[in-house]
């Protein structure tokens, strides 16, 4: 697998996630934020932004 997504979990820091990537042999090549939606009343709102790193397998 050449690429893999790594999600920053609620109980870890960005540095923890980057360290986890490095331990698995991946290098971060892209940082993204995905909205996590929550249903509220008559609509949907953004609860928070989830940080995602795309990693590429190191050579």
pLDDT in tens, 6-51: 999 989 999 999 999 999 999 999 999 999 999 988 899 999 999 9
Measure the CA angle with vertex 54, ends 33 and 6; round to 5°. 80
**Would you give the DSSP letter of residue 9?**
-
pLDDT, residue 59, reads 57
Task: Looking at 1-59, list the stretches that DSSP marks H as alpha helix, in order from N- to C-terminal side.
Answer: 14-23
> Are residues 18 and 28 in contact, defined by beta-carbon separation less than 8 angstroms?
yes
Nearest-CA neighbor of 18 among 48, 59, 58, 55?
A: 55
> Are residues 13 and 21 in contact, defined by beta-carbon separation less than 8 angstroms?
no
């Amino acid at each position: 697998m050449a690429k893999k997504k790594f999600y920053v979990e609620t109980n870890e820091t960005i540095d923890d996630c980057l360290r986890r990537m490095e331990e698995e042999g991946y290098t971060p090549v892209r940082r993204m934020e995905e909205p996590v939606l929550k249903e509220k009343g008559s609509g949907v709102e953004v609860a928070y932004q989830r940080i995602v790193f795309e990693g590429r397998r190191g050579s």
